[in-house]
Amino acid sequence: MSGETITIKGPDGSFSGYLAKPKSGKGPGIVVIQEIFGVNKVMRGLCDWLAGEGYVALCPDLFWRIEPGVDITDQSEAEWKKAFDLFGKFNVDLGVKDIATTIATLRPMTTGTIGAVGYCLGGQLAYLTACHTDADASVGYYGVNIQNRLADAKGITSPLMLHIAGKDEFVPPEAQEAIVKGLHDNPHVTIHRYPEMDHAFARPGGAHYDRKTADEANDRTLKFFARHLG
């Protein structure tokens, strides 16, 4: 499975995205929301994987307002420094606006339904996508800072699944409990907790990658999308 780079035209300007399609050429859509390393090999691989599962997957360059075309790894101190610098400059609400634009761009390429899946920074953005866009289903992996945006949850009207790592170095236990408590009564929200996992347990090649748990979470994600996207 190999994808292509496309241009996404938004109200504030154009930005790129990596698009991967299934062999059939059509299917439900999924917006893949980047980590703090840009649209890199890991994100492109996720799009290719989802295309192999029958989805039209599109990963937008959400750092375009700061620096277009960021494509770095988690393998060096310099890249981590750059990633955190970008994270610090990133405007989450503009990111959600760009995701809404990406959904609108992707929908005509699909059979009609659109999901979103995000990791790390993208995990928070997947949550906010459920709160503020017309995505039909959203999944967030180890999202950071969700506890600071719980008031947004009143906007959730479509299914949302969150994967929470119990030993997440960027989401302390009190933040995890606030998220669970804050979303507990929302019938649209499903939360899975992985008590022994650290941040990014599903990132292949990452320091905390755990294949067994990643496979478990990914299986839940695929079943969730199959159920809600058709």
Low-confidence ranges of the chain (pLDDT < 50): none
Model confidence pTM above 0.85? yes
Give residue-wise pLDDT tens across range 120-143.
Answer: 999 999 999 999 999 999 999 999
Q: For residue 168, indicate whether it is catalytic.
A: yes
Candidate list 74, 98, 168, 210, residue with the active-site label: 168
Instruction: Please tell me the distance from the alpha carbon of residue 170 to that of residue 21, in angstroms, as a whole number.
Output: 33
Q: For residue 199, indicate whether it is catalytic.
A: yes
11 exposed, middle or buried (CB, 10 Å; 0-12, 13-18, 19+)?
exposed
Neighbours of 189 (CB within 10 A): 20
User: Which pLDDT score, from 0 to 100, does residue 1 have?
Assistant: 55
User: Which pLDDT score, from 0 to 100, does residue 48 have?
Assistant: 97
Candidate list 74, 136, 199, 210, residue with the active-site label: 199
List C-alpha distances in Å: 50 to 27, 55, 56, 219.
Answer: 11, 5, 7, 12
Domain boundaries, the chain: 4-229
Q: Which of 127, 72, 125 is nearest to 98 (CA)?
A: 125
SS3 197: coil
Query: Given this structure, which CATH class describes domain 4-229?
Result: alpha beta
User: Which pLDDT score, from 0 to 100, does residue 230 have?
Assistant: 85
For residue 124, the one-letter residue type is Q
Per DSSP, 142 falls in state S
